[in-house]
Structure 1
Amino acid sequence: DSDAVVVTAVKLADDGSGDVVVRFHEAHGARARATLETGFAFTALTVTDLLERPLADAPRPDREGERITVRLRPFELMTLRLHRRGGV
């Protein structure tokens, strides 16, 4: 919901689990806040690196149901893995 945040990928996870990976970045060189809303239920979300490996020390986005609120630094790239109920 923010024109400063650009979604660059929405895809299934590479491991075949049926999880959905969403990759996006801040494009205007300023701090940004954006809300992502999915059209499907998911049980959990994980912040990952570009190879879809969990980042334990990464700040966790706020979640309310199917709405995820993220805060990005200037030009920050973020990848989220959404764990779907029941997989594929």
Structure 2
Amino acid sequence: MKCLADDYMTRQELCEYLSIGSTTSMDLIHYRVVEAFVIGRRWLISKKSVDELLRKLPDGMSLNNLVAQAKQDGQRPRFMRVGGRNHE
């Protein structure tokens, strides 16, 4: 039986894996650059979507530039939890 840890990583693991800060990791999640979902207070990020992002990232483009481009393109942000639910 597969475990969640095989397919998903936490925000802290994402930060360490990509050498980014917590603000950038939340931007990647909120602007739907990576696939993620929340269980309780913990975000879980798809390892597959992170690897795909790294493969498709143009040479010389930083993750911060990618987030800025997602914002500029009008990509709808994912809303934070309100009243114990994750609203979209």
- Identify the structure with bigger relative contact order (alpha carbons < 8 Å, sequence gap 6+): 1
State the TM-score, normalized to the length of structure 1: 0.28
State the TM-score, normalized to the length of structure 2: 0.28
Please tell me whether Structure 1 or Structure 2 has the larger radius of gyration of its CA atoms.
2
User: Which structure shows the bigger proportion of residues in helix conformation?
Assistant: 2
User: Which structure shows the bigger proportion of residues in strand conformation?
Assistant: 1
